[in-house]
Amino acid sequence: MSSTLPDSPLTTYVLNTGDGVPGARMALSLHRLDSLLVIWNLVTVGTTDEDGRCPGLITTKAFTPGMYKMRFETGQYWESLGHNSFYPYVEIVFTITNANERFHLPLLLSRFSYSTYRGS
């Protein structure tokens, strides 16, 4: 199924740096800000695969310039591994001005820290 999904201009990658494994089977969602109503519209809901990735996040057509939010259900993830965590969830809000570029939004995560960066 994933091999037939068109290339998404926006990709993510979750790494469990605490255990040194991909952040597999983590629920996540992508939202776009409706600038007129100033509310978040849900664009995609998904779960990372065994490799910590989530192909097919958004289509090139739907990927318009604007403010987006990626929400990772990190609390649920740690709970499913039998741990607690400092962060119940992680939301990363970012601005897309040039939607012709590719954007890679990884999340490197442990129970007590996380980091993200803009890749391509």
Partner 1 sequence: FFVLQYYKPKLLTCDIQMAAPYSPLTTHVLNTGMGVPGAHMALSLHRMDPSTSLWNLLTTGTTNDDGRFPGLITRENFTPEVYKMRFETGQYWESLGETSFYPYVEIVFTITDHSQKFHVPLLCSFFSYTTHRGS
The footprint of partner 1 (CB under 8 A) covers: 67, 75, 84-95, 112-118
DSSP state of 100: T
Q: Which is nearer to partner 1, 22 or 75 (CB)?
A: 75
Q: Smallest distance, Å, CB 99 to partner 1?
A: 14
Calpha distance 17→40 (Å, rounded):
30
Q: Which is nearer to partner 1, 24 or 67 (CB)?
A: 67
Q: Which is nearer to partner 1, 62 or 92 (CB)?
A: 92
3-class secondary-structure state, position 65: coil
Which residues, listed in sequence order, are joined to residue 39 by a DSSP beta bridge? 34
Calpha distance 94→12 (Å, rounded):
13
Q: Smallest distance, Å, CB 11 to partner 1?
A: 15
Beta strand 10-16 pairing with 103-110: parallel
Q: Smallest distance, Å, CB 76 to partner 1?
A: 13
